[in-house]
Amino acid sequence: MKEISSGHRSIVRLPEIRGIYFLASHSSVIYVGKSNDIHRRVVHHLYEGKKAFDSYSWIEYECSDFELANLEADWVFAYNPNENKIIPENSKYISVGSIERKYGIKKKLLVELLESSCLKEFRACGVSCYEIDQLKSCLWFQELAAISMQE
């Protein structure tokens, strides 16, 4: 982890690194994010002052924006950090609320069907999420999604 000082001192310009970064407080990950310039983004968090962190680390990734978004979601699910308030936009996981909004399936019915299915639930950012590919493979979901798209 790279140590952070909140004092007003000059910041050394570090090279641009694209990838996933982790903000930590007392060695616990409190936030996961993605950036095309991680050090600049971390400095922004530092001066913004909304997240209380004392160190950060990163993993450099050379990949598409699409792949980076999926990697960010994977890391959010791995750590479930308390400063991540929403599930990052990605193509792997979807929250119950997003299913309801995107497909027009009423939440009460959706929750009943999900609870009775064998789909694995993931919890992050205080919400229940499911793997999109598994969800789309369920016959009941295909039928309800098709009906809602016709309305």
Per residue in 12-26, pLDDT tens? 556 789 999 999 999
User: Is 90 exceeded by the pLDDT of residue 62?
Assistant: yes
Q: Tell me: the pLDDT tens digits for 89-115?
A: 889 999 888 888 888 888 888 888 888
Domain check: are 64 and 107 in the same one? Answer: no
Domain finish residue from 16, 51, 79: 79
- Whether residue 132 is predicted with pLDDT greater than 80 in this model: the reply is yes
- Residue closest to 114 by CA, chosen among 87, 77, 141, 137: 141
> To the nearest 10°, the Cα dihedral for 13, 14, 17, 21?
-90
- State the pLDDT at residue 124: 84
Domain closes at, from 79, 105, 133: 79
Residue 142: inside a domain, yes or no? yes
Range of the domain at 97: 93-150
State the total domains in the chain: 2
State whether 7 and 58 are in the same domain: yes
Q: Are 99 and 63 part of one and the same domain?
A: no
Q: What's the pLDDT at 8?
A: 41
Residues 106, 69, single domain; the answer is no
Tell me: do 65 and 108 sit in the same domain: no
